[in-house]
Structure 1
Amino acid sequence: MLNILLGNRCKAKDIETLLNTLHAIAPNTQPYTLFSPYTFDKFPQIHATNSAQKYDFIYLPDSLQAQMAISEQIPYFMGASYTSFLRKIARFCKHLVYRCIDSGIKLTTKPTKQRKLAIIRTDAIGDYLLFRNFLPLFTTHYGKVTLVGNIAYKDLITEFDSPHIIEFIPIHTTKFQKNIFYRIKTLKYLHTFDFETLINPIFSRDYLSESLAKFICAKQKIASVGDTSNISYRLKLHFDTIYNTLISADSRILFEFYRNAEFIKGLMPTISIPSYTLALDHTNIQEFMLPKRYAVFFIGASSAFRKWSLEHFYEVGKWHINQGFSVVICGGKEDYENGESLAYNLNQLDNITQELDSKAINLCGKTSLGALARVVYNGNHLLSNETSCVHIACAIRHDINIYVVSNGNHLYRFTPYPQGIGSKYYSIYHPTIDKNLAAYGIISNFLQETSRLDINKITPTQVINTIQATL
């Protein structure tokens, strides 16, 4: 049962919105009960609050209720944040300038290169990993792909996917939205192409992917009907008009690999779904001179709220060293200093069981994505935040244990991995999630923007106990 408290900011129209959402997603999967301190004659199914009742979710709390939710680690939804009038004016002016620039580029640049298919995939590394195995199907059906994608996964294109791609056009997503000169240069190049078909397979489309889809010249434009995780309902209706065809989607939560399969089946009904893999042509990693017996700690993540603290990683690292494991620390360039700090502290430990050549090694910012896959492949097991490294580890299909510390952002969509995909996957969740996994799946995908649960409420002891029980 999902017990929802209607917050003090909740009005009748907000309740209607909530009920419409719950009616679309929950009746057959998760029963729910609504509670409110107020009476709404229009909604007799709402129960009165009482001090003994425990709530799984608070919908539109006021500031005091939000503080209570944070204190008691109850998920909550605040609604659209307040935007000042001046900020709204600035945003309007920025978009107006961009529209003028886009129109100017279209007037002054003529498409001269004819190509069959463009695919937009500007989301993150993990999203691409869960999509890339479908590329051969596009190649067979349309010919080689022109991929307009996030520069963050360029390494994967170069090492693994180039046979299916005629050209990869990398988009630095932050620069494209903030640097007007980079935007002009990128759009000028994109406007030299005229495609027969443009496909945007991203389920949670955003302003960036929609701006590119609108700008790129193509006779036929196709997208998923998608959701409103990254754009408002009003904006989604506007952006839907860009496309000739919207592929329908199941309203239930699907693991992202299966969501991609659903989209591809909508385009090509007779195809067979491929396996989720990342095939390594070789697995040696001699360039790093790693120890024989090590665990990989991946300390990075795309967002701060997904990052488990260094102090917690340190405690689990101490346990590993006492068990005779070295620790190889991985992450992005932005994680290098944290990696150095963690490695330094672990290397100060006295190893009480046996001498190790190296207790901890920092590889943050030093590996390509392919090299990271090989580091994980040759390790004993992986401990990671819920991020791209986990998707890489599952895709290499190697018999290693994968331990994932997660505060449940988009639960069941990206974590945990279903049986039959990837390796031995063990999730260590925030205590609030463990109380009611099914209910939190509904909350995290449909009723809040991002997870508000403090990931550091997951203790090192929880993680160590899980590793001890399964290693």
Structure 2
Amino acid sequence: MLVELLARFRQMRRQRRRRHLFASLSTADAAALVQQAVPDPTRVLVLRNDSIGDYLLFRPWLRQLSHVVRGRGQRLTLAANALWAPLAQAWDGDVIDELLVVEFGRFTTDLTYRAAMLRRIGAGGYGEVIYPLHVREPTVENFIRFMEAPVRVASQGEHHHDAWFTTLNAGYTQLLPTSRQVLFEYDRNGEFFGKWLTTVTAMASPLVLASQAPTPSPELDAPPLRLPLVVMATPSTASSSPYLVLFPGASARQKRWPTKHFALLAVALHQRYAGHYRLVLAGSPGDATYARQIQQAAGPGVPLENHCGQTDLPGLAQLVAGAQLLISNDTVAAHLAAQAGTPCLVLLMGENYGKFFPYPPHLLRAACRCLFPPSQETRFAQGDFSPPARDPDLRKIVPSRVLAAAEELLRPQ
């Protein structure tokens, strides 16, 4: 009885905080957008606030979307998460007319910063606003309902029906339906693009501004999922001889395979492949601590080259693309390997099985194997792919199992 009462109290407190947040953001957003430029039908804003891996699975469809937008005689502005904006500029700058870099963590917590960004967006005079995320973030998208753009499009998302989402949904001119089944994120983006494309085809003529604008076909040709040619053609600074990459970082503690396990794996790999492959540690500056822990635990007899913090995102892509194998947690490096055609071994909890990993075989050009904790492997073997009640323990993936999988991937085919 007491446990149930406490649970209800916590739920009521969360709901109260959520209502307060909704009210404060709505007041701030309305004030920031009280003056807007006259909507220009030639200007389209696409908003994406998610992570680097999400962008990598979206960018092929972004290029398709840009082709259609430019075919209508319009210009595309991408409001990009500052985490991956450099990638968008380097790899997709040719299809983006304007890149608007947003620190979305700050955007949702710092009302002064939010107001400044919204005033800039309001001054853009966009005729169409597109929010294509399936996992929508109400604290981000809340401002769209105050935009004067005559076309405001979003995904139906995860079919939430609480008061905030009901209000948000009412603020769009088009809410594109989504399948309730689990889809790989690349395919989920394709679902959105296909629905949007059908909407564009049926849209009234005033938005078709180019005199010879092609009529987009609702027939959907899935674009290839691979890194740009410039990445594949540019050798990494580490490519003097064959190497393997170990990536110990991740966005959350529970997603990181223990550094002691990585160290044991490094020792075993050195014993097995010394003279054949160098061992390279890669990651962000924040991963440097994990790299040092691995080096110390492995000992001076195991040469480990620490590249953590020494590459930007395009440089990391080149490093991964040039490797003979990547062994990584569930993070951006694994997506880079899968899209570069580099064999990879991914150590992950599997709580979102099918959304980001495993990759569908037809999208791969090299082996990409996923290893899950034994508890998850048992559930998957029984056909249960639902999210687990608690986070699976990555420590249960033992180094000997990872070594065996690595040996299999490195074996000449």
Number of the residue aligned with 1:417: 359
Equivalent position SS for 1:178: coil
C-alpha distance 80-118 of structure 1, shift in aligned 2 (>3 A): farther
Instruction: Give the distance between the partners of 2:339 and 2:238, measured in 1 at CA.
Output: 24
Candidates 144, 147, 158, aligned match of 2:78: 147
Number of the residue aligned with 2:36: 110
Mapped contact 1:193–1:217 kept (Cα < 8 A): no
Instruction: Give the distance between the partners of 1:434 and 1:234, measured in 2 at CA.
Output: 38
**Structure 1 segments (4+ residues) deviating >6 Å:** none
Higher strand share: 1
Mapped contact 1:121–1:209 kept (Cα < 8 A): no
Mapped contact 1:255–1:414 kept (Cα < 8 A): yes
The alignment status of 1:198 with 2:142, answered yes or no, reads no
Candidates 314, 332, 336, aligned match of 2:284: 332
Deviation of residue 164 (structure 1)? Answer: 0.8
Equivalent position SS for 1:82: helix
Mapped contact 2:248–2:328 kept (Cα < 8 A): yes
The alignment status of 1:270 with 2:219, answered yes or no, reads yes
Equivalent position SS for 2:356: coil
Mapped contact 1:113–1:192 kept (Cα < 8 A): no
Deviation of residue 141 (structure 1)? Answer: 1.5
Number of the residue aligned with 2:208: none
Deviation of residue 152 (structure 1)? Answer: 0.6
C-alpha distance 327-81 of structure 1, shift in aligned 2 (>3 A): farther
Deviation of residue 345 (structure 1)? Answer: 4.0
Instruction: Give the distance between the partners of 1:290 and 1:140, measured in 2 at CA.
Output: 35
The residue type paired with residue 172 of structure 2 is: Y
Instruction: Give the distance between the partners of 1:232 and 1:462, measured in 2 at CA.
Output: 44
Candidates 284, 290, 306, aligned match of 1:362: 306
Moved more, 425-434 or 290-299: 290-299
Deviations 1:270-314 (A, max 9, x none): 23111111123154446x455512111111212222111111111
Candidates 331, 336, 339, aligned match of 1:395: 339
Deviation of residue 249 (structure 1)? Answer: 2.0
How is 1:23-422 mapped onto 2 (pairs within 5 angstroms)?
82=10, 85=13, 92-107=19-34, 109-111=35-37, 114=40, 115-143=42-70, 144-227=75-158, 233-268=162-197, 269-281=218-230, 283-285=233-235, 288-289=237-238, 292-322=241-271, 323-324=273-274, 325-346=277-298, 348-350=299-301, 359-396=303-340, 398=341, 400-422=342-364
Mapped contact 1:411–1:440 kept (Cα < 8 A): no
Candidates 334, 356, 378, aligned match of 1:435: 378
C-alpha distance 175-363 of structure 1, shift in aligned 2 (>3 A): same
Mapped contact 2:247–2:283 kept (Cα < 8 A): yes
Instruction: Give the distance between the partners of 1:164 and 1:203, measured in 2 at CA.
Output: 23
The alignment status of 1:470 with 2:412, answered yes or no, reads no
Mapped contact 2:46–2:76 kept (Cα < 8 A): yes
Q: Percent identity, please.
A: 23
Higher helix share: 2
Instruction: Give the distance between the partners of 1:81 and 1:414, measured in 2 at CA.
Output: 35
Task: Name the Cα RMSD after superposition.
Answer: 2.7
* Count of aligned pairs between the two proteins: 379
Deviation of residue 333 (structure 1)? Answer: 2.3
- Calculate the TM-score normalised by the size of structure 2: 0.83
C-alpha distance 128-179 of structure 1, shift in aligned 2 (>3 A): same
